[in-house]
Amino acid sequence: MPSTTEPKDNYVKGILFILGAAFCFAAMAVFVKLSGDLPVMQKSFFRNLVSAGAAALALGRSGEGFRIRRKCLPDLVLRSAFGTLGILGNYWAIDHMNIADANMLNKLSPFFAIIMSVVILKEVPSAFEWGTVAVAFIGAVFVIRPTAGAASLPALAALLGAFGAGTAYTYIRKLSKEGERGPVIVLFFSLFSCLSVLPFVIAGYEPMTLRQVLLLLGAGLFAAGGQFTVTAAYRYAPAREISIFDYSQILWAALFSFFIFGTLPDAWSFVGYAIIIGTAVVRWSRSRRSAET
């Protein structure tokens, strides 16, 4: 049920938008994987080039222009650096493992955000929050299934991507508290990411077919769509009310994986999914109860 502070229509809109965002991000992963054996840096460049264009368009339509608060510049750089690390880790994992597994491990980012909030925001999590982090990582072990060989490297790359994303989200929260605007954060990140990988793209550029170009542009469009729909979702309803619906991305990823690539996660992965999603549900439920008291 929606909270008393949010109209029911807004609550429903928030759910619909976050379900749309989950679909967009799952579709982005499919387009990245379908683009084939291209360097991760190259895939990241095209993805963020499209996002930069979308953010620039949003800023242009707002009429406010691209002005950065000087005090926010160091945090913008750090947000962008960790965000780029998150994308590279996630894309490398998508290329080398089941999409549903890669997406599930990427969903550990909120738990990394709890850890990094201690360092970045000087916020001390409660014993309950530390407990959810521990349980979530037990779930991750079932998905990763560490080995002594290279078989576990894609899962570890996904975990590194989740760490980068969670740290980036923490910096976004800090920047929002400092008054920096969302489109500015997105555009700065997109441009930073494009420029930081550009030397690697130039040095190791792989010629692309028209199909690959279109697939990467599609990945960028779905990524931008996900960014804008998730932003709209949290504008209509608070995160404590609707964040759990973002885990529908795992369902989309599993469906895409089966119907497009003919693969499904194994039984151990499903055990890990149940633990991680169950932990997220418990956190969501507790957050809602706390907000209503």
- 7 pLDDT tier (thresholds 50, 70, 90): low
CB crowding 126-139: b at 16 or more within 10 Å, else e: eeebeebbebbbeb
Max mean pLDDT range (55-69, 75-89, 125-139): 75-89
- 293 pLDDT tier (thresholds 50, 70, 90): low
For the entire predicted model, the pTM comes to: 0.81
What's the confidence (pLDDT) of residue 238?
67
The residue type found at 160 is L
Answer whether residue 236 shows pLDDT above 50: yes
Max mean pLDDT range (8-22, 188-202, 275-289): 188-202
Structural element, H or E, at residue 220: helix 210-236
CB 67 within 8 A of CB 130: no
Is the Cα torsion angle 279, 282, 288, 289 positive or negative in sign?
A: negative
Higher local confidence (pLDDT), 165 or 242? 165
Q: Alpha-carbon distance 14 to 237, whole Å?
A: 5
Q: Alpha-carbon distance 11 to 8, whole Å?
A: 5
| Side-chain half-sphere CA neighbours of 179 within 13 A | 5
**Arithmetic mean of pLDDT, 85-99:** 91
What's the confidence (pLDDT) of residue 69?
83
Task: Give me the DSSP letters along 73-98.
Answer: HHHHHHHHHHHHHHHHHHHHHHHHS-
Q: Alpha-carbon distance 23 to 28, whole Å?
A: 9
Domain ranges within the chain, ordered by starting residue: 1-38+206-261
Tokens of 33: 């994987």
